[in-house]
Amino acid sequence: MAGRRSRRPRGAPAAGLLLLLLLLLPPPAAPAQPPAAAGRAAGLRMDQAWLQVRREVPPGEGVAVSWLSDACHKCLFQVLGSVPFEEPGVAVDSQHPMILVVNSTVKGKEPCSIHYHFGEFGNYSLTVRSDHGSKKILCNIVINQKPVNSYLPIFFAFFISMGILITLALGKFCINIEPIRNWLYKKMNPRETDRLINSELGSPRRTDSTSSDLPAGVWSTGSAMPRLRSLDTFRGLALAIMVFVNYGGGKYWFFKHQSWNGLTIADLVFPWFVFIMGTSTVLSLSSVLRRGCSKGRLLLKILWRSFLLFLIGVVVVNPNYCLGPLSWENLRIPGVLQRLGCTYLVVAGLELLFAKPVPDSSSVEALSSVFQDLLPFWPQWLFMTLLEAVWLCLTFLLDVPGCPTGYLGPGGIGDSGEYPNCTGGAAGYIDRWLLGEKHIYQHPSSNVLYMTTVPFDPEGILGTINSVILAFLGLQAGKILLFYKDQHQQIMLRFCVWTAILGVPSLVLTKCSTEEGLIPVNKNLWSISYVTTLSSFAFTLLLLIYYLVDVKRVWSGVPFFFLGMNSILVYVGHEIFENYFPFKWKMRDTQSHSEHLAQALIGTSLWIIISYVLYRKRIFWKI
């Protein structure tokens, strides 16, 4: 690991450490309730309920129950069981609403259909009876024992966090009141008081162009432009959510990746990380070129960094270790760091080809100066357009054996079970053909809900093309910051314009729906609508953070700023030490959202503290 040390900063954010330490406290657990105890006694797991079927039909008449989750698009109904069940009841899913259909073995009887959302650890009865006045089956749901409120731990954690933030905000407000400040000057060392007021949790003085506690050599990216805290804050925020999600996110469904089409919180963070990598790339290359570094030397650095990212992803952070010791038979070739490495290689190499040491605004005509961050780089846009054309042609024109051309579905029981082995269409076929089934991800998010049986890699070859497109859009955000340096209104206006420009194709391609669009938003495929949607979100979020952190300076980016300064170290470290104490421990109740949520919060908070300590020690891992 390459580290760099320099003098210690003048102060520590005491209030920030208090916030992080308080986050270590597990959220209060929901009171013990009989339904939960009864559910666990029945062998239920989280996100399950217990269903009994009471049959009130004539003797000799058989009844079969089928179910279909609302989250499973165009799926086949699955048999829940025939009455009487072999067991006194059956476990059913409580994450999403479902449709229950009751069919009679007697011909001519209309089935009964009921739409219901079961609660976690609830105990229910499905009463089935015949309507003697008609040829119908009547059914209804009866609650025997109420379910638990599985969202209470999140509510508690949210309110505790809001309470801490409000307390810190009030403390900061009080410190800025002159009588209180004068009293502090009398009671404390004036130099220490000044440090407290201007610490990371306070507002940097408006006359300062850099952070009050950072040496110029660390904070400055070059004489022309100070380092933007908003970029590291954005990166750190995405990384914090990524760590929290990877540590389980309390085992809530919205902290897991979407089964196929659509978005959850977990689907936001990786593309944001790719986006901000593109933003940082253009600023970094411009800074290094201003210092006189040759393009040949920079190209070698780009190649080396891309190779290291790919190597670390293959050898160190590889989920196929669970299939056995490291060997070529089990080695997963694609992955998060591998995609970052390939994306960085293309985007940084292309930018280096056209980069100039200093933006030459004088060469742009005054009439078109509003496009000075676009017009000189038309070859790059042409290359990206051709690259996207390649993705579209391969996705919609490639002949995949046994699958319809242009198929974008999950396979399995989706699409009425017509294409069970076509998961991902052309994207899945290319990976299985070029890499082999054993060298890609073995447990995609689609295999639980859609019951897919073929491996599929969400970081596969075809999706990397759109990852490059997304990073290039992040590169555009960096050019806006570079060309309109210190022109805050111009920068924010352009961020708003790009938010709209990218939002329009998202609306057109998706038809404002999850499943019915021309190209749905899909993280597994990294569809073009996914790229435009997440890029639009990224411009909006970067605009907000830039306004708060670098323009108004009402927030210094703490605690996410520390994570952003050591992002690769934190990502690799949290993957390596995920199953070790204190990041994980043997739980007293593995079916409790409370304990899983506490574990995820503690693990994430520990990495925030680690990144803060490394920041204080001036240790940064650079690849």
Report the Cα 244 to chain-centroid distance in Å: 9
Cite the DSSP H helix spans in 122-151: none
352 C-beta neighbours (distance < 10 Å), count? 18
Q: Between the CA of residue 587 and those of 24, 249, 251, what are the distances in Å?
A: 16, 15, 14
Q: How far apart are alpha carbons 268 and 538 in whole angstroms?
A: 9
Residue ranges per structural domain of the chain:
34-145, 216-616
Tell whether the model's pLDDT for residue 563 goes beyond 80.
yes
Give the model's confidence band at 409: pLDDT under 50 very low, under 70 low, under 90 confident, else very high. very high
pLDDT score recorded for residue 433: 94
Q: Which helix (H) or strand (E) holds 407?
A: none
Mind listing the pLDDT tens digit for each residue in 56-77?
766 667 778 899 999 999 999 9
pLDDT score recorded for residue 325: 59
Query: Averaged over 465-473, what is the pLDDT?
Result: 96
Tell whether the model's pLDDT for residue 190 goes beyond 60.
no
Tokens 């004068």, located at residue: 182
Tell whether the model's pLDDT for residue 607 goes beyond 90.
yes
Task: Answer for the pair 168, 15: CB distance below 8 angstroms, yes or no.
Answer: yes
What phi, psi does 255 have (nearest 5°)? -100, 10
Domain 34-145 has CATH 2.60.120: no
pLDDT score recorded for residue 198: 44
Tell whether the model's pLDDT for residue 423 goes beyond 70.
yes
pLDDT score recorded for residue 324: 57
pLDDT score recorded for residue 115: 93
> DSSP letter at 367?
G
pLDDT score recorded for residue 393: 96
Which residues are catalytically annotated?
A: 257
Tell whether the model's pLDDT for residue 576 goes beyond 50.
yes
Instruction: Judge if pTM exceeds 0.85.
Output: no
Beta strands in 187-266 (DSSP E): none
Tell whether the model's pLDDT for residue 28 goes beyond 50.
no
592 C-beta neighbours (distance < 10 Å), count? 21
Give the model's confidence band at 294: pLDDT under 50 very low, under 70 low, under 90 confident, else very high. confident
Query: Averaged over 36-47, what is the pLDDT?
Result: 64
Tell whether the model's pLDDT for residue 364 goes beyond 80.
no
Tell whether the model's pLDDT for residue 153 goes beyond 80.
yes
